[in-house]
């Protein structure tokens, strides 16, 4: 199930990439174990392991990719189930645009419901925003 977080930002599972609404033409895949082939869409993969902290470099790459694409198209961030890695990246993006960490977690959770941020996410985001953005 695809969950709209912002007008041009959504989170979902990898299987959702095939049935993403037309406006979501940029897909960020953050599942190490999955390769996507979404015809007609701009796809990028940042291979993250499930249940493992996200490095500041990977978080920075994801945030910058979202920022680069969200200006002109809808961005769908996916992982295997849409519960851990993809919501974590979206939380990181929200923090980069001014949300506080707890506020971003609550906001994404209120939209998606079943999320489980990766371990040490707050530290990954803090390191990323402090040193890379």
Q: Tell me how far apart the alpha carbons of residues 117 and 131 are, in angstroms, rounded to a whole number.
A: 21
In eight-state DSSP terms, residue 49 is -
Would you tell me how many other CB atoms lie within 10 Å of the CB of residue 131? 10
Report the pLDDT value the prediction gives residue 47, as an integer from 0 to 100.
98
What is the pLDDT, as a whole number, of residue 131? 53
What pLDDT, on a 0 to 100 scale, did the predictor assign at position 132?
Answer: 47
CA pair distance 59, 122, nearest whole angstrom = 11
pLDDT in tens, the chain (133 residues): 899 999 999 999 999 888 888 889 999 999 999 998 777 789 999 999 999 999 999 999 999 999 999 999 999 999 999 999 999 999 999 999 999 999 999 999 999 988 999 999 999 999 987 754 4
**How many Å is the maximal CA-CA distance in the chain?**
36
Structure tokens at 26: 């940029």
Q: Which domains does the chain have, with CATH numbers?
A: 3-131 (3.90.190.10)
> Which pLDDT belongs to residue 59?
97
Q: Report strand pairing: 9-13 vs 3-6.
A: antiparallel
Give CA separation, 73 vs 17, 22, 25, 65, 88, in Å.
15, 10, 6, 12, 21
């Amino acid at each position: 199930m695809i969950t709209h977080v912002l007008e041009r930002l959504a989170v979902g599972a990898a299987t959702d990439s095939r049935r993403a609404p037309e406006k979501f033409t940029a897909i960020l895949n953050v599942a190490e174990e999955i390769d996507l082939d979404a015809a007609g869409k701009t796809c990028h993969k940042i291979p993250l392991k499930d249940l493992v902290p996200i490095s500041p470099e990977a978080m920075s790459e994801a945030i910058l990719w979202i920022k680069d694409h969200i200006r002109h198209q809808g961005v769908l961030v996916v992982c295997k189930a849409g519960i851990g890695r993809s919501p974590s990246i979206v939380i990181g993006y929200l923090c980069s645009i001014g949300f506080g960490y707890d506020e971003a977690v609550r906001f994404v959770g209120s939209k998606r419901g079943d999320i489980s941020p990766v371990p040490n996410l707050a530290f990954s985001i803090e390191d990323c925003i402090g040193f890379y953005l």
